[in-house]
Amino acid sequence: MSAEPKHTTIPAGAKSAPAGIGLRERKKERTRRTIRTEAFRLFREHGYNETTVEQIAEAADISPSTFFRYFPSKEQVVLADDVDPIMIRAIERQPLDMPILAALRQAVIDSFDEMDPELFAFEQERVDMVYSIPELRGAMAREFERNIVLMAGVIAPRLGRSTDDFEIRALVGAMTGAMFGIVGSSGRVPFDRDLIVRVIDFLAAGMPL
């Protein structure tokens, strides 16, 4: 697969900063969005490997040292996931007596409904890059661990269990592994609501074959 993203629009990478936050926070969020927007434009035009941090900083009108205050590496410009907070809020809104996989299923639907078109387009491009660029695919192992810790921290309190609970970790690990297993080299688009819901439905049914 090509190392360059397929989309042609320039995404902002996140919704506008929420009303009510301070001026400093709004400026920081604007700078962060500008860095990602310019980085993705350069990745699209020149390729991920050919783009340097210095080029991204220049395009964003900041210094390289400022870049590293927002992202520890070029890799993290792509790997940072702006959907996590949306998904966490959606899970927390589900009734506590709802079966956990049903709650996750509804949270996925709610999260996709909540995303504005700009963020959705950005995430499609971002996830496509993660799965299509070998250097980023190599970082997926670290992302799997982060996702497992994140989701265990959301699910365990709902069930009154520890985040290290065997069944909690097995469930979250199964979901993470299932998503990676069906996208990989299959040609499927990873950032797809129906695909994620189908994975959850399959797990909830006991993975019948």
Give the distance from CA 16 to its chain's centroid: 17
Structural domain span for residue 165:
78-204
**87 and 108 housed in the same domain:** yes
Query: d(Cα 100, Cα 85) in Å, to the nearest integer?
Result: 18
**83 and 68 housed in the same domain:** no
Say whether pTM exceeds 0.85: no
Asked if residues 172 and 148 have their Cβ atoms less than 8 Å apart, the reply is: yes
pLDDT tens sequence across 125-154: 998 888 888 888 777 777 888 889 999 999
**181 and 169 housed in the same domain:** yes
The pLDDT of 174-203, averaged and rounded, is 81
Give the percent of the chain with pLDDT over 90: 66
Q: What is the pLDDT of residue 143?
A: 81
pLDDT tens sequence across 52-88: 999 999 999 999 999 999 999 999 999 998 899 999 9
Angle CA(195)–CA(200)–CA(203) in degrees, nearest 5?
125
Angle CA(69)–CA(74)–CA(78) in degrees, nearest 5?
105
**47 and 121 housed in the same domain:** no
Query: d(Cα 25, Cα 181) in Å, to the nearest integer?
Result: 38
**105 and 200 housed in the same domain:** yes
CATH number at residue 164: 1.10.357.10
pLDDT tens sequence across 82-107: 899 999 999 999 999 999 999 999 99
In a domain, 15, yes or no: no
pLDDT tens sequence across 5-30: 333 333 444 444 454 568 888 899 99
Q: How many domains does the chain have?
A: 2
Query: d(Cα 192, Cα 188) in Å, to the nearest integer?
Result: 9
Give the residue among 150, 143, 130 at the shortest CA–CA distance from 177. Answer: 143
- Comparing 201 with 17, which gets the higher pLDDT? 201
Query: d(Cα 205, Cα 14) in Å, to the nearest integer?
Result: 34
CATH number at residue 34: 1.10.10.60
In a domain, 8, yes or no: no
Question: Which pLDDT band holds residue 181 (cuts at 50, 70, 90)?
Answer: confident
